[in-house]
Amino acid sequence: MSVIVYAEINNGSLKKSALEAACYGAQVASIMGVKCHAVLVGNAGEASSELKKYGISTLYQVSENGDFNPDFHADAIKAAANACGATVVVISNSYSGKAIAPRAAIKLDASLVSNAVALPSSTNPFVVKKGVFSGKAFAFVTLEKAVKMIALTPNSIDLKEIAGGEAQLETLQVESASTAYTVTETKVQSGEIPLTEAELVVSAGRGMKGPENWGMIEELAKTLHAATACSKPVSDMDWRPHSEHVGQTGITIKPNLYIAIGISGAIQHLAGVSSSKVIVVVNKDPEAPFFKAADYGIVGDAFEVVPKLIEAAKALS
Amino acid sequence: MNILVCISVVPDTTTKISFTENDTKFNESGVQFIINPYDELALTKALEIAEKNNGNVTAIHVGLASSEPSVRKALAIGAESAVRINKQPSDAQEVATLVAAYAKDKNFDIIFTGRESIDYNSGQVCGLLGALLNIPSINVITQCSVEGGKATLERDIDGGRETIVCSMPFVASAQKDLTEPRIPNMRGIMAARTKPLEIIEPTAVDGFSKHNQYELPKPKAAVKMIPAESAGDLIKLLREEAKII
């Protein structure tokens, strides 16, 4: 028995969510009294020395096989799980993780819980807490199959180093997957922080009055090294790209800091952000429902408040 | 061209969530149920593709008779026929297993699902169907067009977008931006009454997981207000008190 972690790499380096998955997997392994291993597809590069810090014993490396193909990555997970006799598989609930996890679960005949937000509350029976109703509630899910697979929401656990890791490199051969497609183009917004992984998020709503006023939101975000987000009406009116829309029908995020500017706080919006550690609300309406969910609040006009925040943030950095 | 669209029925987005029986059951009283918003996008895209390619759209739902109004709505929006597998599923894996058992000998060219359902947020059905039917699965798509037996799709990736060309059959999950949801018109609503809705009894499926307990987020402590004139103090508080920047 052991635990296997799928370590996602991006442009040759491990993603933060991969380190979180490793740290989570190693803690599950320690609860179960077994070892934790990891598998990655691509070139390990510095990954071994990084994963060592999070208690990973063996790092299985599978050579890349053409374009990103969730089926191939799922085969890689299966090969690694078989190589180390894993009964628990941990993967990040990123877009790639969400593509890979279900295919791997079928190949391993595993029970899969996605959107996991905490370490198992028990390992026998195996119970994992997950977010449901788009952040409005949590469920404790019992995984019944012999093999358990957990897709962990980014920013759900604090990264801490775990002793005893060696991350010894081993190469695994995996045959081409039985299904495939061709990736003809990949566009990555360079220099920006992906919203789902961002620790700090500056978000704005209709109170900004128009897309031309987003400069100050972007400047505040840049000064704080934060990602930008927006409310549903703003994305519906095409003031901002839909990929920035957080809320029940957008994406659910749980950053350390969520600053909401000119967003009233409808229940659907709160659902997507209520797990944020600290929420700051700036709104000129003192009755805005968002203040009830906030840790810090400022009643005031965004066009006066935001420049003050930028100035103070610049003074700090 | 035959297209299958998976429809999940979920509480309306404005629902205040609560639980009964010692937090072991979702409280359905007074809750209005709707077609999962992402599934509505999937259905609309399926209809758009079918109209251009002389195709046929079937909607499938795993659930009890209580969700039939939503299944009828899928017919009113434009699906030619619908299937309801008569089982209250316990998780996404059960849904996918039952849908795959139905679809495996039907030669669907495309299967669409929503990116995730807004109730249990698993986002698994697309990938599960891909693996169960051994066809490519492409999740969170924002564009899809079909020409000459091949589809060109765009999917969200972490921090960007990817363009994909894929042969049929395949399964894909709808993300916002894929299209604008269609609203059923009176003619559609009338036609839906007589369109075929097949009810299938479920095949036996292994148990994968159980939701045994629910929890609501803990209430927040009182908000700390900062006067607008000294808004800059917020930054100091975030560093020194909250210690997050």
Plot region of B10 (φ>0 → left; ψ -120 to 50 → alpha; else → beta): beta
SS3 A6: strand
The candidate with the shortest Cα–Cα distance to A155, out of A268, A257, A17, A249, is A17
Is residue A76 predicted with pLDDT exceeding 80?
yes
A24 in the same domain as A115: yes
Q: Which residues contact B205 (CB under 8 A, 6 or more apart)?
A: B94, B97, B98
Any idea what the CATH number is for the domain that residue B191 is in? 3.40.50.620
Residues written for chain B: 245
Please tell me the predicted confidence (pLDDT) of residue A242. 87
Please tell me the predicted confidence (pLDDT) of residue B221. 85
Contacts across the A-B interface (CB distance below 8 Å): 280
Q: Which residues contact A224 (CB under 8 A, 6 or more apart)?
A: A200, A202, A257, A313, B245
Q: What pairs with residue B156 in β-bridges? A: B161
Tell me the two tokens of residue A307.
Answer: 């420049």
SS3 A86: strand
What is the reported pTM?
A: 0.93
- The verdict on residue A181 lying in a domain is no
- The verdict on residue A235 lying in a domain is yes
Please tell me the predicted confidence (pLDDT) of residue B219. 83
- The verdict on residue A143 lying in a domain is yes
Please tell me the predicted confidence (pLDDT) of residue B27. 97
Q: Do B176 and A313 touch (CB under 8 A)?
A: no
User: Do B80 and B43 contact (CB within 8 A), yes or no?
Assistant: no
A128 in the same domain as A42: yes
Q: What pairs with residue A261 in β-bridges? A: A204, A282
Residue in chain A lying closest to B164 (CA): A183
Mutation target vs A (from B31, B124, B134; most A CBs, 10 A cutoff): B124
Residue B206 contacts A where some CB pair is shorter than 8 Å? yes
Q: How many structural domains compose chain B?
A: 1
- The verdict on residue B245 lying in a domain is no
Q: Which range (A65-69, A275-279, B50-54) has the least confidence? A: A65-69
A210 in the same domain as A278: yes
Quote the CA–CA distance of A258 and B6 in Å, as a whole number: 34
Domain range spanning residue A70? 2-172
Positive or negative torsion for Cα A41, A114, A92, A34: negative
Q: Do A252 and B123 touch (CB under 8 A)?
A: no
Please tell me the predicted confidence (pLDDT) of residue A135. 87
Is residue A190 predicted with pLDDT exceeding 80?
no
Percent of chain A residues topping a pLDDT of 70: 99
Mutation target vs B (from A11, A16, A141, A253; most B CBs, 10 A cutoff): A141
More confident residue, A193 or A259: A259
Please tell me the predicted confidence (pLDDT) of residue A191. 62
- The verdict on residue B43 lying in a domain is yes
User: Do A40 and A138 contact (CB within 8 A), yes or no?
Assistant: no
Quote the CA–CA distance of A60 and A83 in Å, as a whole number: 9
Q: Do A143 and B221 touch (CB under 8 A)?
A: no
Do you find a cis peptide bond into A125, omega within 30 degrees of 0? yes
Q: What is the pLDDT of residues A141-176, one digit of tens each?
A: 999 999 999 999 999 999 999 999 999 999 999 999
- The verdict on residue A179 lying in a domain is no
A223 in the same domain as A166: no
Quote the CA–CA distance of A242 and A244 in Å, as a whole number: 5
Positive or negative torsion for Cα A278, A284, A287, A289: negative
Binning pLDDT at 50, 70 and 90, where does residue A112 land? very high
- The verdict on residue B221 lying in a domain is no
A111 in the same domain as A33: yes
A297 in the same domain as A254: yes
Q: Which residues contact B222 (CB under 8 A, 6 or more apart)?
A: none
pLDDT along chain B (245 residues), means of 10: 98 95 96 97 98 97 97 98 97 98 97 97 97 98 95 92 96 95 96 97 93 91 94 95 91
Residue in chain B lying closest to A75 (CA): B131
DSSP A22: H
Tell me the two tokens of residue A161.
Answer: 């180093």
- The verdict on residue B233 lying in a domain is no
Q: How many structural domains compose chain A?
A: 2
- The verdict on residue B242 lying in a domain is no
Binning pLDDT at 50, 70 and 90, where does residue A73 land? very high
DSSP A300: S
Q: What pairs with residue A113 in β-bridges? A: A150
Domain range spanning residue B83? 2-215
Any idea what the CATH number is for the domain that residue A224 is in? 3.40.50.1220
- CA of A17 to nearest chain B CA: how many angstroms apart? 11
DSSP H stretches of helix in B78-214 = 92-103, 125-133, 186-192
Please tell me the predicted confidence (pLDDT) of residue B159. 79
Quote the CA–CA distance of A261 and A264 in Å, as a whole number: 9
Please tell me the predicted confidence (pLDDT) of residue A139. 98
User: Do A154 and A256 contact (CB within 8 A), yes or no?
Assistant: no
Mean pLDDT of A276-305: 96
Any idea what the CATH number is for the domain that residue A22 is in? 3.40.50.620
Binning pLDDT at 50, 70 and 90, where does residue A194 land? confident
User: Do B76 and B184 contact (CB within 8 A), yes or no?
Assistant: yes
Q: Do B211 and A143 touch (CB under 8 A)?
A: no
- The verdict on residue A77 lying in a domain is yes
